[in-house]
Amino acid sequence: MKYVANSGKYSNCKYRRCGESGLYLPVISLGLWHNFGSINVYENSKNMILKAFDLGITHFDLANNYGPEPGSAEETFGKVLNDNLKDYRDEIVISTKAGYRMWKGPYGDGGGKKYLVSSLDQSLKRMGVDYVDIFYSHRYDKNTPIEETMYTLSRLVKQGKALYVGISSYPPEETQKAIDILKELKTPLLIHQPRYSMFDRTNEESGLFNLLKEHGVGSIVFCPLAQGLLTNKYINGIPQDSRANSNSVFLDKSAITEEKIEKVKKLNELAKMRNQTLAQMALAWILKGDTVTSAIIGASKMEQIVDCHKAMFNMEFTKGELEEIDEILAEKG
């Protein structure tokens, strides 16, 4: 049966203008970092992508090395796009990245022109598209002149392979340089993708978000739920099917400390008082005010996407709630 998108999807989602651009992003975006690779069940991956779109989540965040295996998340997304969402391509924002190790040898990693151009060409083929909406430099590469990296991003836009450019995980000083160079090249920096959550406020404290706002650059944060710690998943121990129990390099059991679990339990009680799940409150906290354009969620089940989506309908906090959250996060075990 041919897929037909939910006709009411846009009335069920909130969107924010990305910096000073003309692009709007849903406040919740779906990331394909995990659970969309060749090792995963395709039907589940497809159903999650289609469910997100039906909820009005129009932005799908990928990278060349997402999987596993590297590249297979783009292949999965490309198949879903071409089999089910082809008629809706103009209603979808696709982003991908390059910067981390993708293939062997000296040309499969970093911020050099040869790697970035080759990588985007490969990504376009894997997804079966002519262009992506956003192409990111996935990380700052100290071994490549930043001018080379930014020039390459600009050229890819001018060649029509990407509509906008972004950077991810760049420190504030290098972010300022990227902004200045891209401005000179007439390809303004659209967006920055940093890590940010209740448990990791490094980029807030460094002044990164203030810098982005000053220059009209959008922000989309990854790991807003701290790899699942800011959900109900670990309150009663580590589940057998959890990422922490799968020898994941992204979330080690040692990160789930008794001190953090105590904080999670207290945050969960506050979330209940707000008639939210903990995940919903953690996302709402990220999205309060206008600092962050969008938050990227990951998911292994459709139900998780539905749950996170509801966060956008209760993003206001009282002064007392914010103070209580800060007090909980500051507590020492």
What pLDDT was estimated at residue 332?
79
Is the model's pLDDT at 91 over the cut of 90? yes
CATH 2.60.40.1180 is right for the domain spanning 15-225+292-315 = no
pLDDT tens for each residue of 203-241: 999 999 999 999 999 999 999 999 999 999 888 866 665
112-150 tens-digit pLDDT: 999 999 999 999 999 999 999 999 999 999 999 999 999
The predicted structure's pLDDT at residue 253: 67
Domain ranges of the chain: 15-225+292-315
Percent of the chain with pLDDT over 70: 94
Residue with tokens 């992003």: 25
* Mean pLDDT in residue range 38-59: 98
Confidence of residue 1 (pLDDT cuts 50, 70, 90): confident
pLDDT in tens, 258-311: 999 999 999 999 999 999 999 999 999 999 999 999 999 999 999 999 999 999
Kindly report the number of other CB atoms within 10 A of residue 110's CB atom.
23
* Among 70, 27, 32, CA closest to 298: 32
Residues forming beta bridges with residue 132, ordered by sequence position? 162
pLDDT band at 312 (very low <50, low <70, confident <90, very high): very high
In a 3-state reduction of DSSP, which class is residue 221? strand
Q: pLDDT at residue 243 above 80? A: no
User: Burial code of 71-88, b = ≥16 C-beta within 10 A, e = fewer?
Assistant: bbbbbbbbbbbeebbeee
